[in-house]
Homo-oligomer: A and B are copies of this chain.
Amino acid sequence: MKKLINDPEAVVREALEGLEAAHGDRLRVVYDPYVIVRADAPVQGKVGIISGGGSGHEPMHGGFVGPGMLDAACPGEVFTSPTPDQMLEATKAVDGGAGVLHIVKNYTGDVLNFEMAADLAKGEGMEVEAVITNDDVAVQDSLYTAGRRGVGITVIAEKICGAAADEGKSLAEVAEVCRTVNGQGRSMGMALTPCVTPGSGEPSFELGEDEMEIGIGIHGEPGRFREPIGSAAQVVDRLATAIVEDLPFESGDKVLAFVNGMGGTPLIELYIVYRELNRLLQERGITIERRLIGDYITSLEMAGCSITLLKLDDELTRLWDAPADTPALRVG
């Protein structure tokens, strides 16, 4: 296993210690249970926003804690849901009296545990709403998921909801913005290689030397099909066509285009993917108004990419452009 780690059992804790050592000016880390909290939380009168999920997808979610985005994040062990006590702790830490939004990726464990945490928080008198993201068009059900998986749109939702909360919107309004983003967003990913989890030391799945998996999940869950490795143009055609035809995105639409690296793909390749995506969307009369290119929701060192499209309107564009200042994403 070729990894820059010490103890496979201590990966999450030690990475959190590194995150805190690096960014202690703007976030603090609670270690029992693990929660990454914005340094100045709770912000009085602002809706608090938290998310969480298994580790191994960095910078999501901990790298998005900061002004304009998340108030707290709950990291589980690698590819493992965080626990309700983490989510309850996070909810308490960010409740500034205006309620707390839980942004939850659609994985069975995450959903159940966030539900339990919301019930506990409500029992303690806090106001909580949850929005589940399920933007992955690849498969209807999957390992660990009933319904579609929540993937790239989650990053976008965290940014846009952070801006909505900063504007003073109510919990119901911020939750509605989150539902809109999820409803107008679609994603799909692919892998050239599996990844190796530190705990197992083994590849998350097997893939032939000349094969790629289209529709991969961020934990290596099976996608739609395998085929021989194609060109970047073919890969983008597979992903973007499925995305565009699902919503559907139509001629005249303006979109935010998010080309995401899975962790082991060089940036030079992501820009080639972006070139192909730009071309395909132009051919369909769809205009990229905003874009995000880089590694934001990863699967350890997996080579591959995902594409997320969000249909923009003036409000979503304005909220996307609003300032955010987090370790992994800065806007404005």
Binding site for B on A (CB under 8 A): 2-7, 11-12, 14-19, 21-22, 55-56, 58-59, 63, 192-193, 209, 212, 229, 231-233, 235, 263-276, 278, 288, 291, 293, 295, 298, 300-301, 303-305, 328, 330
Contacts and interface: CB of A to CB of B under 8 A. Distances in A.
Contact of A4 (B19, B22, B273, B288): B273
Contacts of A276: 6
Nearest to A229: B2
17 contacts: A2-B193, A3-B192, A4-B192, A4-B304, A5-B272, A6-B231, A15-B275, A18-B274, A18-B275, A18-B278, A21-B275, A22-B291, A56-B266, A263-B267, A266-B298, A266-B300, A267-B298
Q: For the complex formed by this chain, how many copies does it contain in all?
A: 2
Contact of A293 (B3, B22, B278): B22
A267 B63 contact: yes
B298 A4 contact: no
A5 B272 CA distance: 7
B233 A272 contact: no
Nearest to A195: B266
Contact of A271 (B2, B18, B269, B300): B18
A15 B58 contact: no
A302 to B, nearest CB: 9
Contacts of A275: 14-15, 17-18, 21
Contacts of A301: 264-266, 303
Closest 7 CB pairs of A and B: A18-B271, A18-B275, A2-B192, A58-B267, A4-B269, A15-B271, A18-B274
A11 B330 CA distance: 28
A229 B6 CA distance: 11
> A2, A59, A192, A288 — which one has the most chain B CB atoms within 10 A of its CB?
A2
Contacts of A22: 271, 274, 278, 291, 293
Given A15-B275, A22-B271, 14 more contacts: A2-B192, A2-B193, A2-B229, A4-B269, A6-B272, A14-B272, A14-B275, A15-B272, A18-B278, A19-B271, A22-B291, A22-B293, A264-B301, A268-B300
Nearest to A75: B268
Nearest to A236: B4
Contact of A58 (B3, B21, B268): B268
A235 B273 CA distance: 34
Given A264-B264, A264-B301, A232 B4 contact: yes
Most B CB contacts (10 A, CB to CB) among A16, A209, A275, A298 go to: A275
Most B-side CB within 10 Å, residue of A7, A55, A192, A264: A264
